[in-house]
């Protein structure tokens, strides 16, 4: 329990400090421990005493700070502040007792209405004035430096260009990997580029690969293709560039052997080890009549029957049905009506009677 002593404040600061030290600290610590465990276990009287003890502790700390370094001009303001705080503590005590004894709660005195004073509790000391001056100097210096920094042109932060998304011209999908640009400005992904070049190796009409009728140089895309495909394209370039070609006469092979010869010869096939005549392009027939030396009677009969002769390999071709687009066994393509290379003449492409 706390001792009921006369008002100590009016007797001076020494009496006030002596009064605060008379509090029963054991009882206060017990109340604080119980309040920390469960704030509903305290009665109204015990809660009021606990609040009073907390205010008294704050008052004691303020008084100690004042004793450590007070100034004569600020003592009166501090005393008035302490008196108001002590009156507030006493009023809280009286309220707690009134609640415990079931009495009407007393009116709150006007002196307990604490507020900000017009004057500070104590004027700043000489050292504090110097500290404030130094702080003002630092703030002014920082503001000046900031102003100077803002007045200087600042370097622009680096900008990074995001990659522009491209759609593949062939499949229309968004390209997620490397983008291959053609001379006409279109774009392809790796998969479609490889398909385009592989098809060109099996269909001469697609060789060389083109976009918008502009050839795609192998040197521009070689790094994106596997070496086997690059080697095959190189071989096909030699083959398709040969006007009069000779292929292996064995139908299960048909490997390209090179250009035709002007006389009977035997061209060796590295793929199947057979030989082919370089003149008539049939199986090698050394010592026998070459079919390339067709008699005039055979050519006359071909003209009469409407047969056509390939300008590349000189074979005779007969059209039974279908359009006039002929692909010879030597891979040459020509018009069946005039024997001109395909799509270089004005002949009709088909006859309904032959379809």
pLDDT digits (tens, 9 = 90+) for 179-197: 999 999 999 999 999 999 9
**Pair (265, 303) in one structural domain:** no
**Pair (277, 189) in one structural domain:** no
Q: Is residue 201 part of a domain?
A: yes
Highest mean pLDDT among 14-28, 160-174, 240-254: 240-254
**Pair (204, 257) in one structural domain:** no
Q: Give the domain extent around 252.
A: 244-288
Q: Is residue 185 part of a domain?
A: yes
Q: Ramachandran region of residue 281, left (φ > 0), alpha (ψ -120 to 50) or beta?
A: left
Residue 89: HSE in the Cβ half-sphere, 13 Å Cα cutoff: 26
Q: What are the pLDDT digits (tens) for 193-225?
A: 999 999 999 988 899 999 999 999 999 999 999
pLDDT-derived band of residue 148, with 50, 70 and 90 as boundaries?
A: low
Average pLDDT, integer, range 286-304: 73
168 or 20: whose pLDDT is higher?
Answer: 168
**Pair (233, 256) in one structural domain:** no
pLDDT of residue 48: 72
157 or 74: whose pLDDT is higher?
Answer: 157
157 or 13: whose pLDDT is higher?
Answer: 157
**Pair (115, 15) in one structural domain:** yes
Domain end call among 121, 140, 170: 121
**Any idea which of 50-64, 114-128, 149-163, 267-281 has the lowest mean pLDDT?**
114-128
Average pLDDT, integer, range 245-262: 90
**Pair (43, 27) in one structural domain:** yes
Write down the mean pLDDT value for the chain.
75
Average pLDDT, integer, range 43-51: 72
* Parallel/antiparallel/unpaired status of strands 308-309 and 275-277: unpaired
pLDDT of residue 172: 92
Count the Cβ atoms, other than its own, within 10 Å of residue 29.
Answer: 11
Number of structural domains (the chain) is: 4
Contact 266, 282 (CB under 8 A): no
d(CA 215, CA 103): 108
Q: Is residue 2 part of a domain?
A: no
d(CA 201, CA 194): 11
């Amino acid at each position: 329990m706390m001792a009921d002593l006369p008002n100590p404040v009016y007797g001076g600061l020494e009496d006030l400090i002596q009064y605060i030290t008379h509090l029963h600290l054991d009882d206060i610590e017990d109340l604080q421990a119980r309040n920390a465990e469960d704030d509903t276990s305290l009665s109204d009287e015990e809660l009021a005493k606990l609040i009073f003890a907390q205010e008294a502790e704050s008052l004691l700390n303020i008084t100690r700070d004042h004793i450590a370094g007070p100034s004569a001009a600020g003592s009166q303001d501090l005393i008035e502040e302490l008196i108001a705080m002590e009156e507030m503590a006493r009023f809280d005590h009286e309220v707690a007792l009134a609640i415990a004894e079931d009495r009407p709660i007393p009116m709150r005195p006007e002196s307990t209405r604490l507020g900000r004073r017009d004057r500070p509790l104590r004027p700043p000391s000489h050292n504090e004035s110097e500290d404030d001056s130094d702080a003002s100097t630092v703030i002014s210096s920082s503001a000046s430096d900031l102003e100077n920094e803002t007045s200087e042109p600042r370097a622009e932060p680096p900008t990074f260009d995001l990659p522009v998304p491209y759609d593949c011209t062939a499949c229309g999908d968004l390209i997620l990997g490397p983008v291959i640009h053609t001379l006409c400005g279109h774009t392809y992904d790796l998969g479609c580029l490889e398909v385009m070049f592989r098809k060109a190796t099996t269909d001469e009409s697609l060789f060389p690969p083109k976009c918008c009728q502009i050839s795609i140089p192998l040197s521009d895309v070689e790094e994106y293709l596997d070496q086997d495909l690059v080697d095959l394209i190189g071989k096909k370039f030699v083959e398709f560039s040969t006007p009069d070609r000779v292929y292996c006469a064995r139908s299960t092979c048909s490997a390209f052997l090179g250009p035709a010869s002007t006389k009977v010869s035997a061209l060796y096939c590295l793929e199947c080890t057979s030989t082919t005549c370089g003149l008539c392009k049939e199986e090698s027939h050394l010592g026998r009549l070459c079919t390339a030396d067709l008699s005039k009677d055979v050519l006359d009969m071909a003209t009469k029957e409407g047969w056509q002769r390939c300008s590349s390999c000189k074979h005779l071709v007969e059209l039974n049905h279908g359009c006039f687009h002929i692909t010879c066994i030597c891979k040459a393509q020509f018009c069946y009506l005039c024997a001109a290379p395909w799509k270089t003449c004005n002949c009709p492409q088909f006859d309904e009677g032959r379809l």
